[in-house]
Amino acid sequence: MAKTEDVAFAIISAAGDGRAKVAEALKQARRGNFGEAEECLKDADEHLLKAHKLQTEELLQKEASGELQGPFNVLISHAQDYVMTGMAMKDMAVEIVNLYTQLRAK
């Protein structure tokens, strides 16, 4: 990827797609559609992994090697925040889906 801003937007997009899948998983679990919820969580994993990989390969490794030049960019901060919160949301959603599953089993 060429520009830091392009990388940031790609990370935000992938992480946002992951977060949307997490929200859909919770909605499906609330409705008792646990198979769909699990599929959404798998999809969320793929999107969040893509975002994390972009973050690592296009930002962190290049920063460490000195390739990434220029002043701090607030879009990078936003992108990293999106990845972090998306991963945290996904971890919590797994637990919530498990709780919904247990409650339905009773």
Q: Count of CB atoms within 10 A of residue 101's CB?
A: 14
Q: Is 81 annotated as belonging to a binding site? A: yes
**SS3 of the chain: helix, strand, coil, percent, to 5:** 85, 0, 15
Distance from C-alpha of 64 to C-alpha of 52, rounded to nearest angstrom: 16
Q: Answer yes or no: 52 catalytic.
A: no
Question: Pick the catalytic residue: 13, 23, 78, 96?
Answer: 78
- List binding-site positions for Mg(2+): 81
Give catalytic residue positions: 78
Sequence ranges of the binding site: 81
